[in-house]
Structure 1
């Protein structure tokens, strides 16, 4: 039986352990990086390039012509000069056919730190059920590692909830061996009724509420609205080729 384990924050990722064995990573940053990535691909983005910081984003942007990309980023939830804020609703307007170069405090860092896994999926409430369906092909010798990006060294309520949702989707489609950490997220998720209220009650959710970003919160809380399965391949996030949607 395939084992499912959970990491509470990006700082728990050990890159040498990620490379060892047969690990499949699913990275979650519900508010907002992975939600933004899934939403951008759903809205027609060509690809998403997750970077570690703004200077790397600017270097990557040099490889593209003007009009071929959107530069989006935040640092500690604050906008960065010269970057679009990484909001699904803002990016949606101009993303079709373009590359999204994305720099965030937690989610894009977690993705890059997970890159040495055998396969890296991008999850959110929007597409967890589709990711779970893709993971049905995992074998008993593989470990599914669900990674909550967290919030600057702390666990985050919204990622923990999102992890529980993904585990619920997995268990609806098959049998898995859950570690205690994975069970804890699953039981927490099953005890909640309203995803929007959970997200709104989180630290980042309250910040988004303060800045009137309710449309982004509503998108992030929308369970199962797309069957897109994004994966990280050679530094770029694309829709899973074998299951093109």
Structure 2
């Protein structure tokens, strides 16, 4: 996981509190690539700038990834203490919903979940979709393969899952409407398009400067390497300080 380091100077915003809701759909093959990974237990993976997830073997085989059917979380049928996936919100995010899609009904075993380190409680499948909602996970949301009984350990196979979270952000008082325009596209895939010449900085929501550049009017800045999430783009246009929010998809 890439780590970005802030400049010595602090980034200060004249801000108001602004709560926004985000929904991130994670496709396992995009996260782990096209090759089989037999042990993804000890590594933390970033979903976007405000979410990480990790895995615990918890007495079972290590969690694995297979391109054909996604993440494989193993069970321990004697105890129900199978693999655990933990999602950790960052930067003040609170997870409000998790939707897990199983590869097939045969790989949708009993699942329990824990919010902020609390006791594990049962979750309910609807066919091959499991939805955990009505929560506000501020530190962790964990799901466990809780299968018990039978003659074999049943895997939970996850090709995709979706995390919804609320994020209280630093919103720079309606600058888009009241100040000079700096950024043309506020929802970004690979490039930020600029409406003015400026020396700009891109700042994460925890105040870290992740990219600096000098740009011209009608030029683009490559940000494909940045993690998904929200950022603030700052610069000076015609002597006026401008800050605009963007969302990196």
Coarse TM-score class (shorter-chain normalised): under 0.3
Structure with bigger helix share is: 1
Structure with bigger strand share is: 2
Rg bigger for which structure?
A: 2
Flag the structure with more relative contact order, 1 or 2, with Cα contacts below 8 A and sequence separation at least 6.
1
TM-score by length of 2: 0.28
